[in-house]
Amino acid sequence: MINYKVHNHSLSGAVKDFGQLLAERPPFLFLDRDGTLVPIADNPKEAILSSSTSNVLRQLSSRLSKRIAIVSARSLNMLAAECDPREFILAGNYGLEMSFPSGQVYIHPEAQKVHSLLSEVRIELDQLADYDTRLFVDDHQYSFCLHFHKVATAERHIIHSQMHELEQKYPSLVFRALPTSYEIVPSIKWNKASALQAILGKLSLSADDFLCMAFGDSLADEPMFQWVNRHHGLSFRVGECQSTEANSLLNAPSDVVDFLESLLLLPL
C-alpha cells in the first residue's frame, strides 16, 4: 500500500491503481536531493544521505535497470561521493553537469565557458565570508550559494548591496536572491526540466515510453513537475507549499523514502 495525497483531483482516478500504471509503462525516477531525500539542515554539510535511504535507492536502481536520476543543485562531485555513478544517473548543478552509469559525462558548454569567471567570483565570496564569519559559501563548482541565514534581518541590506555590486561586475552570471541565500549561477536558460529532457536525450529514450516520476520540495523542482506531467507521469511535491504543479503531495523526506520502499514491493 502506497500512501500519498493526490493534489490534482483530475488524476485521482488514474493513480488509484498504481500497480496498473506500472504494468503499462516501466518507471523512470527523478529525485531532488535536499529536502526530498534528505531533510534540510542549517549547514548543507550536515544534510547527510542516510545509509538506509542509500540502501533503498541502490535496490531501486537495480530493479529499474538504473533508470533513476538524482537531480540536484549540488555539484556532480558531491553527488558522486554518496551515490555510486555506476548505479545512478547523477545530475549536478541542476543538470549542467551530468554522469551516466555507462561512464558518459556531460557538461553544458556554456557552463564550461564561464568556469574561470566563476572561480573569480568564488574568491570575492570567500573574502566576504572571511570578513563576516556568519556568511557561508557553498561551492558547487559551476554555481555557488552564499548563505546568510545567521545574519540578523536588519543587517541583511549590506549583503544585498554587496551582491548587487557583484551582479554589476559579472553580467554573464545570475545572482538569484533566495530567502536566506544567494545562488550564483551561469546565465544559461536552463532548469530541471531541461535536465530531464537532456537525460532522456543522452540515453536516446522517449519519455512517453516510461512512467516518469519526479520528486522535489522547492520552487526549483516545479519545472521538473511540469515536464513530467506533460509526459503523463507522476509528480510529487514534498513538504508544505502554497501552490504547486505537482499532482501528488508527500509530507516529508521520510515519506519519500517510505514511498520508494513501497515501490520495491511491486512488480517493477
Cell 540502501 maps to which residue? 55
Report the SS3 class of residue 253. helix
Q: How far is the CB of 235 from Mg ion (least distance, A)?
A: 14
Number of residues in contact with Mg ion under rule CB under 5 A: 5
In this chain, which of 30, 31, 34, 93 binds Mg ion, going by CB under 5 A?
Answer: 34
The residue of the chain with the least Cβ separation from Mg ion equals 35
Q: How far is the CB of 132 from Mg ion (least distance, A)?
A: 26
Comparing CB distances to Mg ion, the nearer of 32 and 138 is 32
Comparing CB distances to Mg ion, the nearer of 40 and 64 is 40
Comparing CB distances to Mg ion, the nearer of 217 and 255 is 217
Q: In angstroms, rounded to a whole number, what is the distance separating the alpha carbons of residues 22 and 20?
A: 5
Q: Does 82 bind Mg ion (CB under 5 A)?
A: no
Q: In angstroms, rounded to a whole number, what is the distance separating the alpha carbons of residues 225 and 233?
A: 9
In this chain, which of 4, 31, 32, 183 binds Mg ion, going by CB under 5 A?
Answer: 32
Comparing CB distances to Mg ion, the nearer of 101 and 253 is 253
Q: Does 138 bind Mg ion (CB under 5 A)?
A: no
Q: How far is the CB of 33 from Mg ion (least distance, A)?
A: 6
DSSP H stretches of helix in the chain: 12-16, 18-24, 51-63, 76-82, 109-113, 115-131, 156-169, 192-202, 222-230, 253-263
Q: In angstroms, rounded to a whole number, what is the distance separating the alpha carbons of residues 150 and 265?
A: 43
**Beta-carbon contacts of residue 86 (< 8 Å; ≥ 6 apart):** 101
Q: How far is the CB of 172 from Mg ion (least distance, A)?
A: 26
Q: How far is the CB of 218 from Mg ion (least distance, A)?
A: 5
Comparing CB distances to Mg ion, the nearer of 72 and 99 is 72
Q: What would the grid cell of residue 112 be? A: 564550461
Cell 513530467 maps to which residue? 228
Give the strands of the sheet with 173-178, arranged side by side. 136-139, 144-147, 181-186, 173-178
Q: Does 217 bind Mg ion (CB under 5 A)?
A: yes
Q: Does 35 bind Mg ion (CB under 5 A)?
A: yes
DSSP3 helix / strand / coil % (the chain, rounded to 5): 45, 20, 35
Q: How far is the CB of 58 from Mg ion (least distance, A)?
A: 21
Report the SS3 class of residue 200. helix
Comparing CB distances to Mg ion, the nearer of 41 and 117 is 41
Comparing CB distances to Mg ion, the nearer of 32 and 97 is 32
What is the CB neighbour count within 10 angstroms for residue 140? 24
Binding to Mg ion by CB under 5 A, coded x per residue (else -) over 222-261, reads ----------------------------------------
Name the residues that contact Mg ion, by CB under 5 A. Answer: 32, 34-35, 217-218
